Amino acid sequence: MSPAPSRQDSPCKIVVVGGGTAGWMAAAALVKFLGRTVDVTLVESDAIGIVGVGEATIPQIRNLNRALEIDEAEFVAGTNGSFKLGIEFVNWRHKGHSYFHNFSKIGLAVNQVQFHHHLFRAQAEGIGGELWDYCVNTHAARAGRFAPMETLGSSRLAGIGHAYHFDAALYGQFLRRYAEAHGAKRVEGRIVDVHQDAETGDVTCLRLEGDRAVEGEIFIDCSGFRGLLIEGALKTGYEDWSHWLKCDSALAVPSRNTRPPRPYTQAIAHDAGWQWRIPLQHRTGNGHVFSSAYTDIDAARETLLANLEGDALAEPRLINFTTGRRKQFWNRNVVALGLASGFLEPLESTSIHLVQSGISRFIQMFPARPIYEAERDE
């Protein structure tokens, strides 16, 4: 028997299925970090389109941008983005109450003793003030300001920590330009059939409308909730978490800006869910995430429209979801990323980060030929 070809023999043919946020993030990272060891083709269907929400991020996205050598100003301009200092949670404890989950460190440890101990002592003596007085992000957010600042002046105090809000469709296009410039190929068309090896069960080839075929060695399933390969072909199974996370629906609508973008996301509690408000340069993204067991669509729609700051720019769009995760993220030669791999409700805007985390784990575990069970399981 001839030995299996080694990685050096020829580039590994990776096929990314789906051109949403997950697909283009994967394609961009694979061509950048694996270079000539891979040959990346992305298949997407313009007719099916993308989920198109997913407009708020957490600070770790800056690590990805840095590694991809993306210039921040170009990135923000190209995605109609804005800076995000954290999330303001409004009306959660009771109506009128709010608190801020911010992306900066608060205070400074002194003599190895954590800051909050000093604060509690000072508060007990009536001089400490509030925790938020010691957080630059909170001050900046309240003032509607942002500046790139790693530390506060020349002190050791943490400066402003930030992430971004951006237009998800523009983000995809931005990464598409990047990935194509670095060698990724794009194929447009609807996948109508998935072929598997009769013996191993590995996916071997995708059949597209118009009798076209795309072959590959490794397939990254970024096909969204439908999980075309990971579930449709491989029947991996799904762990349903809806007994923990009650929300199962979202109505999303953009609205006209009525004020300069706030440098933070708002998450506003409602009776049967909550509402996001995400400021972009050209519009505000809004969505009411709710549990269909506790309200109906008409009432949810009314709540959403009654809580917009500017005129709605479209009809609210309904998105249904089941929170949970695939039983395996890597099954046979298919790795699921993004919504194809699972979904937590978007309260802390973590999905795009989970895509990033999945990509970096896959790159760390990038398999030899053939794929070994142990690599896949780890």
Ligand X SMILES: Cc1cc2nc3c(=O)[nH]c(=O)nc-3n(C[C@H](O)[C@H](O)[C@H](O)COP(=O)(O)OP(=O)(O)OC[C@H]3O[C@@H](n4cnc5c(N)ncnc54)[C@H](O)[C@@H]3O)c2cc1C
Residues that bind ligand X (CB under 6 A): 18-23, 43-45, 48-51, 53-57, 168, 190-191, 222-224, 226, 228, 250, 287, 319, 321, 338-340, 346, 349-352, 355
Q: Tell me the two tokens of residue 51.
A: 């989920």
CB of 28 to ligand X, least distance (A): 13
Q: Tell me the two tokens of residue 48.
A: 């099916």
CB of 17 to ligand X, least distance (A): 6
3-state secondary structure 135-201: CHHHHHHHHCCCCCCCECCCCCCECCCCEEECCHHHHHHHHHHHHHHCCCEEEECCEEEEEECCCCC
| Chain position carrying tokens 């990805």 | 64
Which of 136, 251 has the CB closer to ligand X? 251
Which of 104, 223 has the CB closer to ligand X? 223
Contact 334, 15 (CB under 8 A): no
Helix axes 21-34, 351-364, angle to 10 degrees: 30
Contact 269, 92 (CB under 8 A): yes
Which of 328, 350 has the CB closer to ligand X? 350
Which of 216, 224 has the CB closer to ligand X? 224
Burial of 346 (0-12, 13-18, 19+ CB in 10 A): buried
Distance CA 88, CA 90 (A): 6
Catalytic residue among 13, 32, 84, 95: 84
Q: What is the DSSP letter of 60?
A: T
Which of 50, 233 has the CB closer to ligand X? 50
CB of 194 to ligand X, least distance (A): 9
Taking only Cα atoms into account, the Rg of the chain, rounded to an integer number of angstroms, comes to 23
The question of whether 95 is a catalytic residue gets the answer: no
CB of 162 to ligand X, least distance (A): 15
Distance CA 328, CA 320 (A): 22
CB of 136 to ligand X, least distance (A): 24
Distance CA 363, CA 68 (A): 14
Contact 290, 270 (CB under 8 A): yes
| Residues belonging to the active site | 84
